[in-house]
Amino acid sequence: MVYLAELRMQHGDRLRVHIDDENLSLDVVELIDEIAADPRRESAELYMCGPIRLMDAVRRYWATCQLPVYNLRYETFGNSGWFEPESFLVRIPRLGIETTVGTHTTILEALTEAGADMMFDCRKGECGLCQVDIKEVDGVIDHRDVFLSEKQQSAGTKLCTCVSRAVSHSAAKARGIPAPAVDGDGDLVGVPAATRPILTIDIP
Ligand code: FES
């Protein structure tokens, strides 16, 4: 939006601006249908950046329309996850560590604080250095990294502790529901600890 005036000058009528607050949301299907119906469809390139759900919707519909995969260009800076962050327990039985990961804390931070010797570098879900083995999860993993492939993520055996989280089964069912109230420590208010997601891992 900072460059709007400049973009208007450069592109005139060809510039389309979608602003949710002004009821001008981007319709992904409409946009990609338009590209798919264009005679230049094989050479049309789409560049995108944004939240994971938007990028995933574009990627999926781009594939549905059988547009050339190499013409869809995007860069990710980690992702904001599929679910609202929840407080959960993380355990490393081999080291006798069990700690709470608050809504504003990462697994990496919580484990480091609890005395685990963690490896990490980017802290953005890009390098994979902080990945650990998942031993058990009572809940669902919200993979937020861009290091593991979709196949590796769905295998559910590794996760990147600097960005990824665990969420409860109920949150996973109702994707997108707001996070429950939390206290100053990031703990769920009025929710017994036993109902929180529990993630059991081991570190290299
Ligand atoms: S520190 Fe790089 S992916 Fe976590």
pLDDT tens digit sequence for 68-85: 989 999 876 656 677 889
Domains of the chain: 4-74 (no CATH), 88-202 (3.10.20.30)
Query: Reduced to 3 states, what is the DSSP secondary structure of residue 198?
Result: strand
* C-beta of 145 in contact with ligand 1 (< 6 A): yes
Q: Which residue has the higher pLDDT, 52 or 96?
A: 96
Residue whose Cα lies nearest atom 3 of ligand 1: it is 125
pLDDT digit string, tens, across residues 97-147: 999 999 999 999 999 999 999 999 989 888 899 999 999 999 999 998 888
- Terminal-residue alpha carbon distance, the chain: 44
Name, in order, each residue with C-beta under 8 angstroms of 192's C-beta and a sequence gap of 6 or more: none
0.75 cut: is pTM over it? no
Quick one: three-class SS letters along 53-88?
A: HHHHHHHHHHHHCCCCHHHEEECCCCCCCCCCCCCE
* C-beta of 187 in contact with ligand 1 (< 6 A): no
Residue 195 CA to residue 179 CA, distance in Å, equals 14
Q: What's the mean per-residue pLDDT of the chain? A: 86
- Closest-CA residue to 41 (of 31, 56, 27): 31
pLDDT digit string, tens, across residues 141-150: 999 888 888 8
The reported pLDDT for the residue numbered 196 is 85
Q: Mean per-residue pLDDT for 180-199?
A: 56
* C-beta of 120 in contact with ligand 1 (< 6 A): yes
Query: How close is the Cα of 139 to the center of ligand 1, in Å?
Result: 22
Query: How close is the Cα of 74 to the center of ligand 1, in Å?
Result: 20
CA angle, 68 then 63 then 20, to 5°:
110
- Closest-CA residue to 167 (of 80, 89, 85): 85
Contact 163, 132 (CB under 8 A): no
Q: Distance between alpha carbon 137 and the CA centroid of its chain, in Å?
A: 18
